Structure 1
Amino acid sequence: MATIGCGSLRGRADSAFEKGDYEGAARDYAQVVAQDPTDQEARAKLAQAREKIFLGLLAEVAESKRTGDKERVFSALGRLLDRARGWNDPGSPAIQKRTHDEVAWAEEQIGIECGALLARHAPLLAEDQLEARDRQVLRHFPGSTVKSVITDTIHEYAETQCKRLAPANPAASPYFADLVGKYCAHFHVTTARVPVLPYHVSRVVLAGQVDGLSLEGRDAFATAVQKGLERSSFWDPRAEAPAIVTVSGKNHAAFSSRKMTLSRPWVERIPYQAMEEYQESYTEYYPDTETYYDTEHYTEFETYTHSCGDGKNTCTDTRPVSKTRQVPRTRQVTKSRTAYRTKTRPVTRYREEDRVFAFEATERSGNYEVDVAAHIDFKQGVAPFAVHLSNTKSDSGIDHDSSFPPAGVSPSRSNLQTRDAFWLEQLPTITQRTTLSAHSHWVALFCSQSTYSSDEAARCYYVPAAERPKAARDVLFGSFGPDIDNVQRL
């Protein structure tokens, strides 16, 4: 069977090669060689198929260079190098020479690309571009020094950039100093930063009261608000200042009950007596005539020869012989057979009748209402903001102890939610609204100007990218260049 399989695979490989499908041919020839390493013809064909693939990719590289499609150049060259490494086969000396020349060109282009980005004051973008080209090409050459050389150049430039950007007095422009600090720390360059930025808090102090809220519910509310602030621009665990959260509102639940009679349908099977006919078997005897065979004796005469007594002649004569034969006879006999007769007998049968099972129960209802407002004040010369949540819910259930399996009735409990449990359901929404309100508040406070200083623009950059105004970006672009769109991800 192995020989048949190999033969079929070999035929497929030959067919693919003839059709110009060198990828398929190389894959199948490799399997043939794996099954029979002594197959020199398959080895030769495998080398030819791979050579065709290398030549095709080198042709794609050359054509892409001619048309100026640099991305396609790197893509094709990367695929060529990936094949050579995966196959552990760099190709013929001519292929290796052409590949070496293309890699040298690619390394030169990578240096030019990164240099152009550094000229635009964008070491972050240069670093990203180098990583992308490394994944495409350079990683296939562990001995290449191009990546380390360019990396050193990027870091040297970034160090110079950091010295230029770092403010002489970080306290006078704390947000810009912090942005520069994050930027430079990525390149392992340390710059002076203020320990804690203005308007940042590290804890929540809860004031006020919500009617109907337990102490545990109050603590849970404070935790929910804190989680929301932790996801906002106002939070810094190093800060000493608290957020004063003054809460008001209500958390009410009203419960009622009423007695009721419930019913469930069921079907009863009632037995009754009936007569049914059935077939009873019995033995029936009847006369019959049967044939049998009897032995009969009879005499026949046979001819025989004997000497006539003169010693010369033979005489013929007859003699009687006794024989037997079977002669058919008939006789009267009595036989038996199974017969059936109809009889009746009493049986128990069932009929189904609809019934209703009635039982006493208590319906319990709960009506829940929460309406709470949190006034959040940072006490640092900025206006406070509010978070509001209002929600209602109604629920009901049945209590009873009845059990009647035929009707599918078993004891039940309403298990209505408690007032505190309903409150806990609201806390994820409180957290989410706190975060959204805090972001909106930061934008309203610090991102609504028509003009910005460097520190004001950096302060505005503490909100999500979609909420940053173009005017703030334009100011920071003058300092960070195109890197400004990537600084905040660090």
Structure 2
Amino acid sequence: MVRLLRLLPVLLLCACTSLRGRADDLARKGQFVEAAAIYDDLVRQKPWEKELVVARDDLRWKALEQLLGNARRYRLEGRDEDAEVDLLGFLNKRSEWNSQLNGALESSLLEEMGGTHQHLRVLIGDPARKGLALTAEQSLVRKRPLLAHKEMVVIQREMENAVLQSGKDACQRLRTVSSEDTPHWKELVFRYCAHWHEYAPQPPAAPELFGPASFEGDISGLNEAQVNRLREHLTHAFESSPWFAPGATARPDFTLAGRFSTERDSQSVELTAPYTEKVPYTDHEDRTETIEEPYTEVEEYTDDKGEKKKRTVTKTRKYTRTFTVEVTKYRDVARTFEYHALRLSVAHRVSLSSSGVLDARRGPLTAVLQDAFSESGYEHDVSFSDANVYPQHVAFTPPHAWLEQRLAALGAVFSKRLMEHWRESYCSTPALTLEDAARCARAGAELPTPAYRVLSEVLGDDAARVPQLYASE
């Protein structure tokens, strides 16, 4: 632990150096926002290092200059949408970093806000003036992240007021486009006006609509609580569908059928696990040794008196010899370890369906879901560490969560079938009246071309967005 504590400063230094290198490389490539983000991390790690703070602040400034500069350039090129993407980036970063702008950036920002104002007057204001409130609102919603910044509050209020007033004016106009015996058109007008907080009378439920549905039947394998959960999913799907109206008197009856089962199996099996064994064997190696051998030799020398004399001295000579020895070595040999275990398995299967008649002219609507889920594992008490074999005991996942997902899935299938059934019943007529087109729009999905054409005669391009008045309910 002491050693690790001593290493921590070194490790942190290496990490910081590596991060800083990445950040500097990004900055050289002109990716100042990304580089500043890395320096943010570095400053969090070492807030006392002024050099890091200065470098980070410099990168932030360059990032703001780059974002606003790009926005101005795109604006001059007529690429208003691209300009507003970078303007949003600039405002987001300025707010996040709490940056104070100099005179040059303040001036550029004001110019860019002016360009945005002009663009939004065309994008949002023009459709609003033409009575296309839903079209204008769609663009307004898309621009809300930009308009949410405090610098844009004046533009935001102008656009919101223009859209709201357009919706109110359109509501006044649509209230006059009605006739007797057109409950679906009157429902469309009611929803349109309510969307803009305006009043329009709500008509009684059309004869094609139903009140709360009942779901009865037996599903083998489900307990009462699970059947009730299934009814809740199906009820929610039905009451979110175009077939439902709270004030309708007719009550559709749907039958439930299906089965949930669990099968378990246990088999004795023989398993093998590979491992490596080191096996000894005898080998021969050549070795070399150096031998020192003494010998005598007569040599002359001069004594202290200068006389030459002879003496016998012992010297040593060296030579090497090679010899062979036996050695024990080990080789890796692949082995398999065999052992017995129980293979346990469990399989869950579910089959669910709901069926009922909603349109007497057609056959019953049926939603079906079939699915299965299985798990298996081995159980034994064998241990053999060389092959990484240790006792195993199987713990299977309880099926409740999976079954709950399947019940919800049938609700989703039912919801889709309800919408399709409505479209098949009321959106397939080639020639449509205004009432027929409004009834088709109730599906909350994209309008077929004939229905769009009829509604666009009254609503213009807003006709394409009418289904959202139902889908949002």
Task: Give the TM-score taking structure 2 as reference length.
Answer: 0.56
1:28 is the counterpart of 2:35:
no
Assess, with a 3 A threshold, how the Cα gap between structure 1 residues 62 and 204 changes in structure 2: closer, same or farther. closer
Does structure 1 conserve the Cα–Cα contact (< 8 Å) formed by 2:369 and 2:410? no
- Following superposition, the deviation at residue 431 of structure 1 comes to 6.8
The equivalent of 1:448 in structure 2 is 428
Q: Which of the numbers 50, 60, 64 marks the counterpart of 1:54?
A: 64
Give the 3 Å change call, closer, same or farther, for CA 438–88 of structure 1 in structure 2.
Answer: closer
- Could you tell me which residue of structure 2 aligns to residue 140 of structure 1? 149
* Alignment match, 2:250: 241
* Residue number in structure 2 paired with 1:460: 440
Partner deviation per Cα, 1:47-102 (whole Å, 9 max, x = no partner): 54444333322331232123221111001111122222222113322122211221
**Residues 57-76 of structure 1: matches in 2 within 5 Å?**
57-76=67-86
8 Å CA contact 1:25–1:46 kept in 2: the answer is yes
Q: Which runs of 5+ in 1 are unaligned?
A: 253-262, 267-369, 393-425
Q: 1:151 to 1:225 in 2, by over 3 A?
A: closer
Residues 390, 51 of structure 1: CA spacing in aligned structure 2 closer, same or farther, 3 A cutoff?
closer
The structure 2 residue matched to 1:123, chosen from 133, 141, 145, is 133
**Aligned CA distance change for structure 1 residues 452 and 84 (closer, same or farther; 3 Å):** same
Q: Quick one: which of 451, 463, 470 aligns to 1:484?
A: 463
Residue 383 (structure 1) aligned to one of 341, 361, 364: 361
Q: Is the 8 A contact 1:123 1:154 kept in 2?
A: yes
Residues 118 and 237 of structure 1: CA distance in aligned 2, closer, same or farther (over 3 Å):
same
Q: Which of 74, 89, 103 in structure 2 is aligned with 1:93?
A: 103
Q: Work out the CA distance in 1 between the residues paired with 2:57 and 2:233.
A: 66
Q: Closer, same or farther in 2 for the Cα pair 1:145/1:389, shift >3 Å?
A: closer
Decide whether aligned partners of structure 1 residues 170 and 197 sit closer, same or farther in structure 2, where only a CA change above 3 A counts. Answer: farther
CA distance in structure 1 between the aligned counterparts of 2:352 and 2:135, rounded to whole angstroms: 49
Aligned residue for 1:153? Answer: 162
CA RMSD after TM alignment? 5.4
Aligned AA (2:139): Q
Aligned length in residues:
339
Aligned to 1:471: 450
Q: Give the superposition deviation at 1:180.
A: 1.8
Measured in 2, the distance between the counterparts of 1:371 and 1:19 equals 61
The match for 1:102 is 112
| 1:147 maps to amino acid | Q
Residue in 1 aligned with 2:312? none
Structure 1 residues 374 and 102, CA gap change in structure 2 (3 angstroms): closer
Q: 1:176 to 1:141 in 2, by over 3 A?
A: same
Give yes or no for contact 2:444–2:468 (8 Å, CA) kept in 1.
Answer: no
Q: Using the alignment, how far apart are the partners of 2:234 and 2:354 within structure 1? A: 11
Could you tell me how far 1:163 is from its partner in structure 2? 0.9
Distance, in Å, in 1 between the alignment partners of 2:440 and 2:168 is 25
1:243·1:376 contact (CA, 8 Å) conserved in 2?
Answer: yes
Deviation digits for residues 122-173 of structure 1, max 9, x if unmatched? 212322322332313x322257322112211211111111111124656521
Letter in 2 for 1:486: R
Q: Is the 8 A contact 1:17 1:25 kept in 2?
A: no
8 Å CA contact retained: 1:61, 1:76: yes
Give the corresponding residue for 1:270: none
Structure 1 equivalent of residue 299 of structure 2:
none
- Over 3 Å counting, the alpha-carbon distance change for 1:473 and 1:205 in structure 2 is same
CA contact (8 A) 1:178 1:193 kept: yes
Normalising by structure 1, we get a TM-score of 0.54
Question: How big is each residue's C-alpha offset from its partner over 1:281-307, in whole Å with a ceiling of 9 and x where there is no partner?
Answer: xxxxxxxxxxxxxxxxxxxxxxxxxxx
Change (3 A) 1:31 1:194: same
Within 2, Cα distance between the matches of 1:441 and 1:474?
A: 22
Structure 1 Cα separation of the partners of residues 210 and 111 of structure 2 = 59
CA distance, structure 1, for counterparts of residue 251 and residue 20 of structure 2 = 78
Q: What amino acid is the match of 1:35?
A: W
SS in 2 for 1:172: coil
Moved more, 197-206 or 19-28: 19-28
The sequence identity of aligned pairs, in percent, is 18
2:315 match: none
